[in-house]
A and B are shown apart, each in its own frame.
Chain A
């Protein structure tokens, strides 16, 4: 257990509304990630962070923004939600194991439905 929580766990929203998802970790890890999971696509990286105020885009970043003002919190914002953003969103942290191996640990997920 890497001490990762996500909130909310479920959300239903309307097209065009802003939505913010929160990821919170308790172990002070430097790297944090947001993924989305969709049938037939597996996991796709949206954005990641390598420190406070340091973020970068992933594979599917269009329509999403992120912020990290504290080590423990990583926020994902959908500025204007669309139906194509209906998905399950996972937050993850990176724990570097011996040999500099990047092990990622995941939160429980947020199921977002955009109507």
Chain B
């Protein structure tokens, strides 16, 4: 079945460092792909999305490009801030009217001053 694999965490970076969180997927067809962010004590928030190959989703300085040839959707940010400390989840939409998302296990990011 469809699945999402994220890099294991936790990831610790210094402020202003470059961030990459890897996400690869296995799916039949052409799923939509998402990144969600969860700040401490809160629910998940949609960060960005891409719905077809070569689409780039972006929001709040984060970017991810839908790479069909490598089945990847890596999250990047050029300069992280302490406020970016959170857990990040990659997810895919089965599509075809299933209305269900498949989530990766999450990657915890800690940014230190």
Q: Number of A interface residues at 8 Å Cβ cutoff, please give it.
A: 23
* B49 at the binding interface (Cβ < 8 Å): yes
Q: Are A103 and B49 in contact (CB under 8 A)?
A: yes
Q: What residues on B are CB-neighbors of A94 within 8 Å?
A: 99
**0 or 1 for each of B67-106: is its CB under 8 Å from A? (1 = yes):** 0000000000000000000000100010100011101111
Q: A41-B105, A43-B103, A94-B99 in contact; A106/B89 too (CB < 8 A)?
A: no
Q: Which residue of A lies closest to B52 (CB)?
A: A99
Of A40, A92, A106, chain B has the most CB atoms within 10 Å of the CB of: A106
Q: Are B45 and A106 in contact (CB under 8 A)?
A: yes
Q: Which residue of B lies closest to A111 (CB)?
A: B41
Q: A41-B105, A42-B89 in contact; A48/B46 too (CB < 8 A)?
A: no
* B44 at the binding interface (Cβ < 8 Å): yes
Q: What residues on A are CB-neighbors of B93 within 8 Å?
A: 101-102
Contact residues on B (Cβ < 8 Å of other chain), bracket: 10 to 19
Q: Which residue of A lies closest to B50 (CB)?
A: A101
* B51 at the binding interface (Cβ < 8 Å): yes
**0 or 1 for each of A72-115: is its CB under 8 Å from B? (1 = yes):** 00000000000000000010101000010111111111000000
Q: Are A107 and B43 in contact (CB under 8 A)?
A: yes
Q: What residues on B are CB-neighbors of A34 within 8 Å?
A: none
Q: A40-B105, A42-B104 in contact; A105/B99 too (CB < 8 A)?
A: no
A-B contact pairs, 17 of them (CB 8 A): A4-B43, A31-B99, A42-B104, A42-B106, A43-B44, A50-B99, A90-B44, A101-B49, A101-B51, A102-B32, A102-B93, A102-B99, A102-B101, A104-B44, A104-B46, A108-B42, A108-B43
Given A43-B106, A104-B44, 7 more pairs with CB closer than 8 A: A45-B100, A48-B99, A99-B51, A103-B34, A105-B46, A107-B43, A109-B43
